[in-house]
Structure formats: C-alpha cells, structure tokens
Structure 1
Amino acid sequence: MRGQGLHLHLDPVGGAAGDMFIAAMLHAFPDLAERAMADVAAVLPAEVGYAELSEHVASGITSRRFELVLTAPDAGRRHGAETTYRAMRNLLENAALSEGTAEAACAILHRIAEAEAQVHDIPIDRVHFHEIADWDALMDVTAAGSICAALAGATVSLAPLPLGGGLVETAHGKLPVPAPATALILQGYDWHDDGVPGERVTPTGAAILAHLTGGSPIASRPPGRLRCTGSGAGMRVMKGLPNILRVSVFDTATAGIAQDSLVQFACDIDDMTGEELGAAVDRLREMEGVVDLMMFSGQGKKSRPVTRLELLVQPQEAEAVAARVFDLTSTLGLRRSLVDRLILPRESDDSGPLRRKRARRPGGHETIKVESDDLAEAETLHARRSRARAAEV
C-alpha cells in the first residue's frame, strides 16, 4: 500500500471543504495529480468543463487551488433524478476509475447521504442532494476518493475544527452553522471557536475527514520525520487568517520499521452457542479493514463461561466493523481503544510452487515464511515441515 509508513496530520486552519482537501493533498503529493485528474475526467462530461489545479497564495502562504472550470455559466448545474444519492452512486460505480476510487468515493458520498437522511427523516435512497448535487461537488468526491485510495494504509490525525457561526443559505432555507448534516457527520470530534463566522466546514469536507479517520475522533500522532507539507486554499478571503487546509506528511518508518495505529474492539459474550459465535467470527474476519480477530475463553460474572472477542481494525473501517459486530453478536457494548503498531516491511513472493512471505528484519537479514494454506495437502506433520523448510531456503 502506497500509504504504508506515512502519517497525515490535517490542520483545518481556515476550514475544510472538498476542494481544499484535494488541493492540499495534490500540493503534498504532486505525483497523484495525474491519477486524480483522470478519475475526475471519467465522471465529468466534457461539455460541462474540466478540473483545474493552480498555484495560489493565501495570506502569503504558497498553496494550491482546485476548481471546476465551466464551459458555460450554467453548465455546472444538475437537476431532478440525477441529483439523488442512488443516481450519483451509480454514476461513480459505473465509471472507468482507478483502482479503489469508486469504493472510496461512494463511501464518502454515503456518509453525506446518511446524514441528510437522518436530518430530514427520510429513507437514504430518497435523499436528493442540493448543495452537493452540482458537478463541482461530484468532482470533489471523486478526486478525494482517488487520493484516499492511492494512499491506503496511511494513518491520519486531525486538529480541532473551526466552528464558524451564523447562518448558511441552503435549498431548505437558512440553516445554522455548522450545517446539521455537517454537525452529524462530525459528531464527537473536537471543535474550537476562533471568532471567525461563516460556514467553515462543508458537508463534503466533513465526509472526507470522517472517511479518513474512520468516523473516530480518536487519533494519535506517531513519532516520525516530517517529509513535506501541502496547503489547499478555499475561495473565501478571511481577514487576518489564511483560508487553507494544511496537511503535514510524516515518515513513520524508522530503521526499517513502520508505525501505524489501529482501532481495537473488545467485548465479552456469555449467551451465544459455539456454532453462533463461529458463524459470526467467520463473517467478521471477511470484512474489509479487519486486520486480526482473536477469541479467548474465560470466566465472567455469575461464574459463567465467557468468550472475549478482540478485533484489530483499520481506523477508516472502524465504524462499519463496529456496526457489524452489533449485528452478528449478542453484545450490547464494545470497548474501543487506539493502539499503535510497529510493522516490518514485507512482500509476497509467488514465484515458486508455494507462496511465500518475505520480511526484512532490522538487522538487515531476511526471513521467509510459506503460506500455511499451500501446505494443506501434506499428509503428515513431517511432510508439512519438510516442504516448508525446502521452500523457505
């Protein structure tokens, strides 16, 4: 994964919007611009316009600006059925996008739709996007999804968000800032009031931040070497404050050891049968983002036999995995914590008859381990070990 060994710290100095995030990331990772632009072109009709990444100076700070250049003044508007969540999701799923882009973009879009559905008390498939229905918003979701997919494996932390204030004009009339959908998406996150009014965090920006952090405000910053920074400028000019979102990129790999953070879930279950637990665990292990799952036997309250489930999960998938645990088991609560992990660089080797995993140790030597599934046909333990030794030379 390209993002393995990287930590991204996002600081919404002026605020957070889709275009600001994309501009900041492409400033820090200019080699991703070609991928992101190609993905945008795959969903953006030529007659509407094109995406442009330009240099900008915000309050004396060199930054980048990402925007849609229209072929005509009204070309960016979308209407009717094409503004529904289902229609926009189908457009992303059927476009010729880079690997992982559609999945990440749809996940971001889903967070917005889910919040809008809850705010307006309607089914999610009946959600009509108003403020984010135009082509520039779809462009932002697509480009953000492309960047998130390209940097899969990176860990993310987030500075407190600017609260803003006042009212914002929407299709539903004037709404308080932060907009209800934005506040719902980022519920539980840290905010601060810097005295600057207005909408500082948009629903699209909120959904991107929630996707990157797995819907969890818990985020540690592992030690690392600062590699670079990138700044994405918003359209608004603020007096005495740079309207930028800044990303600081850290290398967390030290002496060949990478670092990242995982969410750990744990619960104790004493009222499910072995068959029920086995079925639940098999399904949980298949979920994207589940790094490891362990079961431990013990004795709980009232001297009952109890099984403890412990899961290690990628932060960006933590919310979905937690919901699935509640669906598949009888537990009424999950303990949640953030754990730091040290990782040796490794790679898969499929060159021989048995698949192998190679790992580089800090001392410089290499270790090789055969994939256990490839030894399943061995008739005896001796045969299994003999095959493994022969392949691990």
Structure 2
Amino acid sequence: MQIHLDAVGGMAGDMFVAALLDAFPEHAEGVSASVRAASRAGVACRVLPHNDGILQGSRFLVFGPGAPDPTPQAALAATHRHEHGDHDHDHHDHAHPDAHGPSHTHDHAGDHDHRPWSEIRASLERADLDAAVRGHALAIFGHLAEAEARVHGIPVERVAFHEVGAWDSIADIAAAAHLVAALGATRWSVGALPLGSGMVRTQHGLLPVPAPATALLLEGFATRDDGVPGERVTPTGAAILRHLCGGAEPAPTGPRRLGRSGVGFGTKRLPGLSNCVRALAFDETAPVASPEAHPDHRTIAVIAFEVDDQSGEDLAMGLDRLRMRDDVLDVVQMPVFGKKGRMMAHVRLLARADALDAVAAACFSETATIGLRHALVDGRALPRRAATVAVAGRDVRVKLAERPGGRTAKA
C-alpha cells in the first residue's frame, strides 16, 4: 500500500491521525490502546465526525487526566472557543535554553514545568507498546528533539518539553506511530506544504512562521504560498513527515488503484479553505492493468511537423537520411493543405523514447521546418524478425511476425 498526503490546510499531528482514522476507522481501538500505554495515567483520545460546511471528515481529540470524555456537542463547542481565542495554531512545543540552567520548552499557557527529552524517551521505552509502534514514536520524537537542539545550539540530551504540552504531544505521536505500524505502507508521499506567514506568539516572544524547528524539519520538502497566513505546519506534523517522507524517492507516476481516502481536520478555521489533511491510500496488491504490463508494450516518441518551403527532392533526401538512423523507427510523409490552400508535406516520425532530443535535432538539420511537435506514447509491437527465403531459385527478404493466430510473412 502507498499513502499520499495532501496538506490542504496544513499539517499537524492530530490532523494526520484524524485523516488516517477517517480512512481506516477499524484502527481506532488500537490507537486508543497505544495512546493509553504511551501517555501518563488518565490521558485518552476520541475520534469524532466533523463537517466544516465544505467537507466531511474526522477530528482526533486528546483529553488529559480528569477531563470528561467529550461528546460531539462539547467537542464542537471547544473547537469554537479555540478558533476565536488567541492561539494561532495547534498544540506543540518549542524547546529553548533559558538563563536558569538546562533547556526547557514552552507552550502558550505560560506553565514553566518541563520534561526532559531523555525522560520522555525512557518512558516510551518502558511503555507497553508494540515494538514497531515504539520504534516509530521514538523516531518521530527524536526528529523533534534533534531539530530543537540545532535551533538553540544545545546537545540533544538537554532538550526538554513542557509538561503542559508533553502529554498531548506524546498522545498525537503515539497515535501516529500506531497507525504507521498498523498500516504497513511501503511508501509515503506528501504534496507541496503550505508555508504560512507572519509570527507566532509564545510566552517568550514572537517566532517567525514557519517556526525555526519546523523549518529545519521541512528542509527538502516542496512548499507553496497560498496567501493564507499563520502557522500551517506544526513541529509535530513536520517531524511525522520527516520520519515518513524525508528520504523517500518521488512517488511513482504510473497507474495505481485508489483504495481508500480520508479527511482529518485541525482546530483552526481558515478563510475560504478547509483546514484539513487528506489521505489517499493506493492498493499495490490489485494494480490497474497498465500498458507496461503487456509483453508487447513499448514507449515511443512521436514527432510531427509540416514543411511548405522545401523542394520535394530535397525533402525526400532528408527524410531518407532520417530513416537511416538507428534511433528512428519509421518516417511517413503525406500531402496536406495549409493556409490559403497551400500544399504542404506533413511528416511524422516514430523514434526511440530515449532518443527524442537527438532525433528532434536531426529533423531541424535535415528539413526546412522551424517547429515541431512531440509526445511520448504507449504502443504495442508484435515480435518480428527478418529472414531470407528462396523463391523460384531467388533469395527474397521477408519479415516474419508472430501474430496471435500464428506466424505470418511479408516480402
């Protein structure tokens, strides 16, 4: 299975999880178990349907110790309050060193409690998690810690995360890790990410968007500027993408069968745009029948142009020289009418796909055309070979073709 992500409104940990659970709701119970195992006592999660008036999808909600299990109505009210408050983006942490000693992280609530990355790592290692889930969770959190360490010029072991943000960040990452392990996709890809703009307010001042750690995590990813300001990709979302798509080769461009899709919403409302991530899951076990799968398939280059200012004799000699090229498969010529009823010669060449540039240059050299058209097309060719046979005492060169009904010969 291949999974492609479209960051329509942005990318955050909860949006990633919601999109995958919208596409694969059968994994909701497993995600809840992993969140409970990875987080401190009392942390739980819930997936709720959500409609922003444009699209239908899901929201992934994490609630801390002592918080009641949110009903859909309560979740909607909480979302409304959040969208009209002073938070500019989804929950996440920024690590930084301060003047009081070891580094710590801050969130937007003003709490100065913090948990060192080494403590979170040890907690995940002790947690009753499947080995694959634990491995993905540690890798994602590791990307976050390494980025924060680079931003502030400190060792990774000195990075710490705020207590307020730690439990929900761990829950998001544990949920994401569970889904990555459970789905077992062979390839992950993501479209261009919205860059965002402006500044994000934190307790210790303003930071540019994308946040410094996010910018490091997104190095090498394609981005776009859709004109919508604010923080569009959170550090947690960026760390998940770095883990899944950071070193991946470009997604294949051939036919694939779309198996499932899901939409996961974030908390903010964006002007004229759904704040969501869309997940597209392509099934590799049932591929679309592609031309490449046929034994007679070939990809060829087609070059076409018209000539109206070259003598017939000179054009014929030039086309003969083109036919003699090893990378040219065929050349045909036919009369056509051009502007004002003028007679022209229409020329079409078939060439090897890998020789398109060389054959195009030869067309300009051998004919008077000043422009041409070209395309790569799929085709089929029957197996054939040339042979010499004796007919009435004379050798005749024939072409043998293997047709579905048997072999045929043409002189």
The bucket for the TM-score relative to the shorter chain is 0.5 to 0.7
Match of 2:8 among 13, 17, 24: 13
Q: Distance in 1 between matches of 2:202 and 2:250?
A: 31
Count of residue pairs brought into register by the alignment: 250
Match of 1:201 among 233, 237, 247: 233
2:28 matched to 1:33?
yes
Q: One-letter code of the match for 1:158?
A: V
Match of 1:50 among 16, 37, 44: 44
Contact preservation (8 Å) 1:189, 1:217 = no
Match of 2:283 among 226, 240, 251: 251
Q: One-letter code of the match for 1:233?
A: F
The DSSP-based 3-state class of the residue aligned with 1:201 is: coil
Structure 1 residue 112: Cα displacement:
0.5
2:260 matched to 1:228?
yes
Structure-1 residue corresponding to 2:64: 70
Structure-2 residue corresponding to 1:211: 243
Identical amino acids, percent of aligned pairs:
45
Structure-2 residue corresponding to 1:340: none
Structure-2 residue corresponding to 1:144: 176
Structure-2 residue corresponding to 1:383: none
Q: One-letter code of the match for 2:53?
A: S
The DSSP-based 3-state class of the residue aligned with 1:129 is: strand
Structure-1 residue corresponding to 2:129: 97
2:170 matched to 1:175?
no
Contact preservation (8 Å) 1:13, 1:246 = yes
Q: Distance in 2 between matches of 1:131 and 1:206?
A: 21
The DSSP-based 3-state class of the residue aligned with 1:183 is: helix
The DSSP-based 3-state class of the residue aligned with 1:93 is: helix
Q: One-letter code of the match for 1:211?
A: H
Q: Distance in 1 between matches of 2:251 and 2:288?
A: 23
Q: List runs of 5+ in structure 2 lacking aligned partners.
A: 68-90, 92-108, 290-411
Structure 1 residue 30: Cα displacement:
1.1
Shift of the 256–223 alpha-carbon distance from structure 1 to 2, 3 Å rule, reads: closer
Q: One-letter code of the match for 2:9?
A: G
Contact preservation (8 Å) 2:193, 2:223 = yes
Match of 1:113 among 127, 137, 145: 145
Contact preservation (8 Å) 1:81, 1:87 = no
Q: Distance in 2 between matches of 1:119 and 1:168?
A: 16
Structure-2 residue corresponding to 1:313: none
Q: Deviations over 1:137-182 (max 9, x none)?
A: 1100111111111122421111000011101123542110000100
Structure 1 residue 8: Cα displacement:
0.6
Structure 1 residue 216: Cα displacement:
4.5
Task: Trace 1:151-190 onto structure 2 (pairs within 5 A).
Answer: 151-190=183-222
Q: One-letter code of the match for 1:45?
A: R
Q: Distance in 2 between matches of 1:18 and 1:139?
A: 9
Q: Give the TM-score taking structure 1 as reference length.
A: 0.59
Structure 1 residue 93: Cα displacement:
0.9
Contact preservation (8 Å) 1:10, 1:246 = yes
Structure-2 residue corresponding to 1:330: none
Task: Trace 1:184-333 onto structure 2 (pairs within 5 A).
Answer: 184-216=216-248, 218-254=250-286
Contact preservation (8 Å) 1:17, 1:205 = yes
Structure 1 residue 62: Cα displacement:
1.1
Contact preservation (8 Å) 1:108, 1:207 = yes
Structure 1 residue 84: Cα displacement:
1.3
The DSSP-based 3-state class of the residue aligned with 1:253 is: coil
Q: Distance in 2 between matches of 1:248 and 1:111?
A: 25
Cα RMSD of the aligned pairs, angstroms, is 2.7
Q: Distance in 2 between matches of 1:50 and 1:35?
A: 12
Q: Give the TM-score taking structure 2 as reference length.
A: 0.57
Contact preservation (8 Å) 1:188, 1:217 = no
Q: Distance in 2 between matches of 1:20 and 1:102?
A: 20
